[in-house]
Structure 1
């Protein structure tokens, strides 16, 4: 039975991921208008952020349901998420509504894990873990609470939710590092290098030596 053909990178799931990337500059303009003090522009920015987050759910569901999962999608999807979340964090810190240490911690983790993904890509692709999805959800909810022009009574809820998001961000970051180490150690590329370093000849050479003997 022949193997199913790999899905093309030019598919609807990846198109939604690209749409999320395009939405980032639009969101930034809306949020920073009038230094974030205009309720109408803040509502528009919140709506843009929410729509972008929804596309994340849509592209993932389409990719799984229609068999459109590609290596490009596995890499581009988290990058789009990080661009959206990162822009929201930076803008909120710029207008003085979110402590800079929160932005620095989250962005350091996101950029570091993106770097780790690219470092180990020769050994395999690390898909988003379940913990990473929980982290993304917590970040999205916390940011929506910070973005929306809500009454001051909601501020404690926003702070607690952001605290949970930061904890999940750090914890899942450490988990990804462990995954990357395991992936690198267990990959075919690493095993081949170890075999070469020990002077073990390839299977074809050993087979040839055995038949000659």
Structure 2
């Protein structure tokens, strides 16, 4: 279980972005999160993935308190894949950041073997996002934070990626937090949906 207990965050001495936030995601559960831009959804995503440190509160993953040594069991997939890969690395090296290559996962995500020798700039946005997802779904990943993961993709590619992700959720019992501005998408893929404004509560 991914537990967020009384987590608060603000940038330096600015007003609190959010305060006393609580959230639970169970293994195998797909939770949708929506809300207005600038309210802190992406900041929360980076905190859950261990990339930022909250000012207050704690986060537990399957009973283990952050920070966790070694591979992070919570992985984050961003909206813009070109921003989170090294443009000078071939895709095979990019994938290796997530652990050993899983041929079955690559096939499920529609990744052609010939793409492994390409650089990020030689792939389309949809192809590159498939690689980012494959990198995030390493064998030790227990929870996935999908922050507007398919927003920039065409409808067909978006549907293909989510179909594969939902299959993996069932097979590997992975919990997912899907952050999106698209309520129709969240209704299609999520077990339950949370309004971020209601989740945050009072901000002081």
* TM norm. shorter chain > 0.5: no
Q: Which is strand-richer, 1 or 2?
A: 2
